[in-house]
Chains A and B, each alone.
Chain A
Amino acid sequence: MLAAVTLAIASRADADIRLPDDTPPSYRTECGTCHDPFAPQLMRKADWKQVVAGLDRHYGVNAALSADEVQPIAAFLDRRGADDADARMAAAELRLTATEYFRRRHASVSRAAWAHADVKRPSNCGGCHFTSDQGVFGHDVSIPGGR
């Protein structure tokens, strides 16, 4: 019984996080050009809402979109973002790298790996996750300099 529970937890934690099938193409081109097209499941809907509302001062950069451009992206994030009640996905300072979930999933990554020139920032998924630019945040990982 215990083994079964452990296995269930392990396989859940091991599932790849990937962009949903209903991701609007513009999400990849508008958001996914400067950074990886982050999977919306990684942060709560309420946090995404705030990110979308502040695109003109987006982590220090003006990433403003027209109302027509923003609409399908905002709707998508609201459709696919994590549930607001899910405390593991609550993002401090609106950073999806600052959720409890993200921290736990990356607990074994060394300080040296985070600081590696190919990584630089926790939000640079592509530093280790080679398919993140296609929206697949999975296990084809190579951590620079090892763990």
Chain B
Amino acid sequence: MSLAALRLAGALLGFLLASSAAAEFPAEMVARYAADAAKAQPGYVPSAAAGREFFLRRFDVSAELPGCATCHTENPAARGKHAITGKRIAPLAPSANLDRFTDGAHVEKWFKRNCTEIVGRECTAAEKANFVSFLLTVRP
């Protein structure tokens, strides 16, 4: 291998390492939320079934946005649509959208915004772990 090729390979490796450092796999995110939930609730284990129930629940805090499925549809692997603005929403399930649940700060921001609006309060770590573990079970 020439020196130039080696340099290029080194630069590529560096880039890959740097870009992967910020990212997280969805399953790691579940584990992180679950560890957090276990502090308040010893023995807590994430439940995809509870996550599914939460996703489909109508909270009815907001008249126009009663639940998650209002915009995301009942199938998280499908494309959604904002119920007020009509803007398209990319699928929530990682199996249909690889970008989902790989950026902790982004996910926290949207949990905060959407839980406040739809649930009427911030979500707990257990609810977040359940929610993401449900989405990980969804296949397109």
Contacts and interface: CB of A to CB of B under 8 A. Distances in A.
Residues of A contacting B: mostly: loop
B87 A35 contact: yes
Contacts of B137: none
Contacts of B85: 34-35, 121, 123-124
B84 A62 contact: no
A118 to B, nearest CB: 8
A35 B84 CA distance: 9
Interface in B35-49: none
A127 B84 contact: no
Contacts of B87: 33-36, 124, 126, 133
A135 to B, nearest CB: 13
Given A60-B64, A61-B65, A119 B86 contact: yes
Interface residues of A, number: 18
B99 interface: no
B116 interface: yes
Interface residues of B, number: 12
B80 to A, nearest CB: 12
Interface in A59-85: 59-63
Contacts of B117: 61-62
Interface string B80-92: 0010111110000
A118 B86 CA distance: 7
A120 interface: yes
Contacts of A34: 82, 84-85, 87
Given A62-B113, A119-B86, A121-B84, 16 more contacts: A33-B87, A34-B87, A35-B85, A35-B87, A60-B84, A61-B65, A62-B116, A62-B117, A63-B113, A118-B86, A120-B86, A124-B85, A124-B87, A127-B86, A133-B87, A133-B88
25 contacts: A34-B84, A34-B85, A34-B87, A35-B82, A35-B85, A36-B87, A60-B62, A60-B64, A61-B62, A61-B65, A62-B113, A62-B117, A119-B86, A120-B86, A121-B84, A121-B85, A121-B86, A123-B85, A124-B85, A124-B87, A126-B86, A126-B87, A127-B86, A133-B87, A133-B88
